Structure 1
Amino acid sequence: MERSNQSAVKMMTLAAMITALTIVMGLMPRIPLLLIPVPIVLQNMGVMMAGDMLGTRYGTLSVGIFLLLVSLGLPILSGGLGGAVVFLGATGGYLVAWLFAPLVINLIKNVLKGKIKNQLILSLLSVWLGGAVFIDVFGAFWLAIQAPMPLSTAMFSTLLFISGDTIKAILVIIIANRLEKIVHLN
Structure 2
Amino acid sequence: MTRTLDATDLARVAVFAALIAVLGLPGSFPVFGGVPITAQTLGVMLAGAVLGPWLGALSVTVLLALVAVGLPLLAGGRGGIAVFLGPSAGYAMGWILGAAVIGMLVHAGGRRPVLWRTALAMVAGGVVAIYAVGIPVQSLVTRLPLGETALTSLVFLPGDLLKAAVATAIVAALVRAYPRGFRRTWRLGAHAPEAVSA
Give TM class, smaller chain: 0.7 to 0.9
- What amino acid maps onto 2:178 in structure 1? I
Paired with 1:15 and 1:142, the residues of 2 have a C-alpha distance of 27
User: Any gaps of 5 or more consecutive residues in structure 1?
Assistant: none
Contact 1:133 1:162 (C-alpha < 8 Å) held by counterparts: no
Match in the other structure for 1:122: 117
- What amino acid maps onto 1:30 in structure 2? S
Paired with 1:132 and 1:9, the residues of 2 have a C-alpha distance of 31
Count of aligned pairs between the two proteins: 177
RMSD: 2.3
Match in the other structure for 1:61: 58
Establish whether residue 136 from structure 1 lines up as the match of residue 131 from structure 2: yes
Q: How much does 1:73 deviate?
A: 0.3
Which residues of 2 match residues 169-180 of structure 1 at below 5 A?
169-180=164-175
Paired with 2:155 and 2:61, the residues of 1 have a C-alpha distance of 26
Contact 1:47 1:98 (C-alpha < 8 Å) held by counterparts: yes
Match in the other structure for 1:23: 21
Match in the other structure for 2:140: 145
What is the DSSP-based 3-state SS (H/G/I as helix, E as strand, rest coil) of the residue aligned with 1:185? Answer: helix
Establish whether residue 49 from structure 1 lines up as the match of residue 42 from structure 2: no
Paired with 1:147 and 1:165, the residues of 2 have a C-alpha distance of 22
Greater Cα shift, 76-85 or 171-180: 171-180
TM (norm. structure 2) is 0.80
Q: How much does 1:125 deviate?
A: 0.8
Q: How much does 1:118 deviate?
A: 8.4
Paired with 1:14 and 1:27, the residues of 2 have a C-alpha distance of 20
- What amino acid maps onto 1:127 in structure 2? M
Greater Cα shift, 66-75 or 7-16: 7-16
Contact 2:68 2:79 (C-alpha < 8 Å) held by counterparts: yes
TM (norm. structure 1) is 0.85
Q: Against the structure 1 CA distance between its residues 69 and 94, is the aligned structure 2 distance closer, same or farther, given a 3 Å change threshold?
A: same
Paired with 1:140 and 1:57, the residues of 2 have a C-alpha distance of 24
Residues 61-112 of structure 1 show CA distances to partners (whole Å, capped at 9, x for unaligned) of: 111110011001001111111001110100111111111212222344577x
Greater Cα shift, 35-44 or 89-98: 35-44
